[in-house]
Amino acid sequence: MIHRPVKNAAFRSEALDVTRLRADFPILGRRINGKPLIYLDSAASAQMPMAAIERMRRYQMEEHANVHRGVHSLSEIATNAYEDARRKVRLFLGAREDREIVFVRGATEAVNLVMHGYGRAFLGAGDEIVISALEHHSNIVPWQMLCQEKGAILRVIPMNDAGELLLDEYEKLFSARTRFVALAHVSNALGTVNPIAEMIRTAHRHGAPILIDGAQAAPHLPVNVQELDCDFYAFSGHKVYGPTGVGALYGKAALLEKMQPYQGGGDMILNVSFEHTDYNEIPFKFEAGTPAIAAAIGLGAALDYVGAVGLAQIAAHEHQLLSYATELLAAIPEVRIIGTARAKAGVISFEVGDVHPHDVGTLLNDEGIAIRAGHHCAQPVMQSYGVAATARASFGLYNTLAEVDALAAGIHKVKKVFG
């Protein structure tokens, strides 16, 4: 069967000058198996623009020194660059103060930091934690660990067949023992955008602080933590066109100040004796040891880049890509789209008949197309749909409608191989 792209002029009006932007990402010029690389795996890790790569290179070649620990010129330059990156994260998230931004290795470490620093200090036996059926393992397992340690209870918001959370059931989960809520802003497995503004208000109405895992939202949607009034917000640098190994946790200053440190060591202290230690002020009491200085500076440069392109424009472009991909894939016999929420961002998960997702991914790779195949660290989501895994294509600002056409054509080739 020959694949013929859907004839829809509306899909041909691009929201960004993607040709120009693609030139900022050198890796997109690669060929895989003799074919031009089509990178549809940004939900796992987005590619980095030259602006971020070059900023990290300049730091390593001209500015490298440890931060916060020296009076010599290089240390001061490095410290200023590192703290400027913190300021950029604060502006990106719309936080009130730089001290509300904690650098971490990524969203996973951010969730664990809150679990240890807040959960272990303030939750006890019989207390309840609310999460959702859409969560990534990194927003499930830490809370399970806390429940096992403290005798707390985990409550789960159910979802419907489209992959949307049931808000009436969410409301019913609250009790006099509800002490904390932790939710994804956007599902990594399905792309569902949760109505977190409403869900934050619900949690606060019941007196529960709430953490939002924004790893999949930060690359796609404008975020303002003050307007949302969330208590914590976490994201990873490598999802938002930055380097791996760095991310950020936003926390309201009043909460961070009363939390216990996550790790002990250098830089998170004011005074140490064998009898007692006085901890540093926030955010430094949560940043033990030498941080990922180059990565933080690279993250700052990546956020500059995203800001210059414009998150609203990126969101509009990715909505075009997602709408077009949904129409194309839905028209292919035996392709089942997993997750059909009304509000989605940048992700389409699917099955191709009885073909295992790993085989789908392998055959698409033969065509130079990079997708993700597996359970996406969201096994409870997979179980809800009665599958062990899905194939997942995810979009970034550099993807094109022609690449969506190539994905659909590649799926037809998969069907032909296994037909």
- Partners of 235 in beta bridges: 248
Tens of pLDDT, residue by residue over 101-127, are: 999 999 999 999 999 999 999 999 999
Q: Which two tokens stand for residue 144?
A: 């399970």
CA 78 to chain centre: 27
- Specify the 3-state DSSP secondary structure of 269: strand
Tell me the C-alpha distance between 184 and 197, whole Å: 12
- What whole-number distance in Å separates Cα of residue 124 and Cα of residue 110? 21
Contacts of 252 by beta carbon, 8 Å cutoff, 6+ apart: 100, 231, 232
Cis bond leading into 261, ω under 30°? no
Output the pLDDT for position 14. 58
Helical spans, DSSP H, in 206-349: 225-228, 253-258, 293-309, 311-330
Residue 79 · residue 67 · CB < 8 Å: yes
E strands, 150-257, in order: 153-157, 178-184, 210-213, 232-236, 247-251
Please answer whether residues 30 and 38 qualify as being in contact, where contact means their C-beta atoms are separated by less than 8 angstroms: no
- Whether domain 52-308 has CATH 3.40.640.10: the reply is yes
**What positions carry a catalytic annotation?**
377
CA distance 199 to 197: 5
- What was the pLDDT predicted at 15? 75
Query: What pTM did the predictor assign?
Result: 0.95
Domain residue ranges of the chain, discontinuous segments joined by + = 9-48+310-418, 52-308
pLDDT tens digits, 334-390: 999 999 999 999 999 999 999 999 999 999 999 999 999 999 999 999 999 999 999
Q: In 3D, which of 64, 59, 103 has the Cα closest to residue 289?
A: 103
Q: Do the domains spanning 9-48+310-418 and 52-308 agree at the CATH topology level?
A: no
Element (H, E) at 112: helix 107-114
Rounded to an integer, what distance in angstroms lies between the CA atom of residue 286 and that of residue 115?
13
Q: Does residue 264 contact residue 203 with C-beta atoms inside 8 Å?
A: no
- Residue 392's pLDDT is 98
Q: Which residues of the chain have pLDDT under 50?
A: 1-13
Q: Give yes or no for a contact between 390 and 351, defined as CB atoms under 8 angstroms apart.
A: yes
CATH 3.40.50.720 at 9-48+310-418, yes or no: no
DSSP state of 238: G
Q: How many CA atoms lie within 13 A of 367 on its CB side?
A: 22
| Alpha-helical regions (H) of 33-105 | 50-58, 73-93
